[in-house]
Amino acid sequence: PKTDIVFLKVHKSASSTVMNILFRFGETHNLTFAFPLGGGFQLYYPHHFLARFVQGFSPHSPRRFNILCHHMRFLQPEVQKVMPSSAVYFSILRNPVQLMESSFMYYKGASAFSRVRSLEQFLSQPHRYYNPASGDRHYARNLMTFDFGFNPDGEVSPERVQLMLKAIEASFDFLLISEYFDESMVLLKEMLCWDLDSVVSFPLNARNSSAKSPLPDSVVEKLKAWNRLDWEIYTHFNRTFWERIDRDIGRERMRREVKALRERQAELARTCLQGTGSVAPKDIQDSSLRPLQHGAARILGYNLKQGLDQELERTCRRLVTPELQYSSLLYKKQFPPQPP
């Protein structure tokens, strides 16, 4: 199994669920994480990543870490200072239409969104509300482009798009697609030589579906045009995702693997969870399993069954621990507090 991993955690793309998978694998295999300084949760996002943002990094004694997976704005030469040259690089993308709708709900307080009632209103005159100079502009335009380290307000010429896609391909070994999450997990398992249980997960940081409503076609077209760079990235890597599956796995085996993954997930849900799945924040009984609530979104969580044996309780708890709690726990393990 591969143990040196760089995951670019793109916002609002099922990336918290992937992060949970990496946290569990790292913890089980006693790997080290490149944590943000002081145990924070982001690597000084939205600034471009620098090696000195990582706890325990020193230019004089280049210590390498196994897993880098906290939010960052990608800058490969700096990443290479903290990660071994053997590291596998991957990320996950999401359809920019759903991505922006999610971003709008989640980052309602961002400057571009704060004066509008709806996404439709914003898209009717985006330049009226959007200021390219404001520090949180990236939540409102080409968020994936920004996370990959590029300029979200760059011109959209075929040459520039090609350069950007080539740069991503040169840096990343593969990109997953959140709309095909189960297929993505099978591909991840293949690429990293992991076993099935390592990529089983429950959806984390997901919001209540009552907060989602389909957008009219006219709005969808405006949204694609406004996020044209993201759209180019998404359509290109959605295509190469299926090309890779056809080349490395084949559709028939993929179907079998996805079925096995879903069956294992259902089995774990029956074993671990009260009820059938996620619950509203107010219904989560164990406060240590309550995810951070943000913006206008209601982030769901889970209740574990009572009376599980110790080993099973531990497995189940890890599957449903929200990212901030899990990150803090692993940070304290890697950097134990010094006795006074």
Query: Residue 205's pLDDT is what?
Result: 84
Per-residue pLDDT of 140-162, as tens digits, reads: 999 999 999 999 999 999 999 99
User: How far is residue 284's CA from residue 282's CA, in Å, rounded to a whole number?
Assistant: 6
Q: Hey, what are 226's tokens?
A: 């406004």
User: How far is residue 340's CA from residue 332's CA, in Å, rounded to a whole number?
Assistant: 16
- 24-60 CB burial, b ≥16 within 10 A, e <16: bbbeeeebebbbbeeebeebbbeeebbbebbbebeee
User: How far is residue 182's CA from residue 302's CA, in Å, rounded to a whole number?
Assistant: 20
Query: Residue 211's pLDDT is what?
Result: 62
Res. 210 pLDDT band, cuts 50 70 90:
low
Res. 275 pLDDT band, cuts 50 70 90:
confident
Q: Among 86-100, 112-126, 281-295, where is mean pLDDT lowest?
A: 281-295
Percent of residues, the chain, with pLDDT higher than 90: 89
Per-residue pLDDT of 296-310, as tens digits, reads: 778 899 999 999 999
User: What is the CATH number that goes with domain 5-334?
Assistant: 3.40.50
Separation in Å, CA 309 to CA 29, 39, 258, 299 = 22, 31, 29, 28
Res. 273 pLDDT band, cuts 50 70 90:
very high
For range 68-77, the mean pLDDT: 98
User: How far is residue 105's CA from residue 115's CA, in Å, rounded to a whole number?
Assistant: 13
Percent of residues, the chain, with pLDDT higher than 70: 99
Q: Hey, what are 178's tokens?
A: 């959140």
Q: Hey, what are 130's tokens?
A: 């959007």
For range 289-302, the mean pLDDT: 87
Please count the CA atoms within 13 angstroms of the CA of 123 that sit on its side-chain side: 21
Residue 273 pairs in a beta bridge with: 304
Query: Residue 340's pLDDT is what?
Result: 83
Per-residue pLDDT of 212-256, as tens digits, reads: 678 899 999 999 999 999 999 999 999 999 999 999 999 999 999
Does residue 201 have a pLDDT over 80?
Answer: yes
Query: Residue 62's pLDDT is what?
Result: 76
User: How far is residue 254's CA from residue 195's CA, in Å, rounded to a whole number?
Assistant: 15
Neighbouring residues of 54: CB distance < 8 A, sequence distance ≥ 6: 34, 35, 36, 37, 43, 65, 68, 82
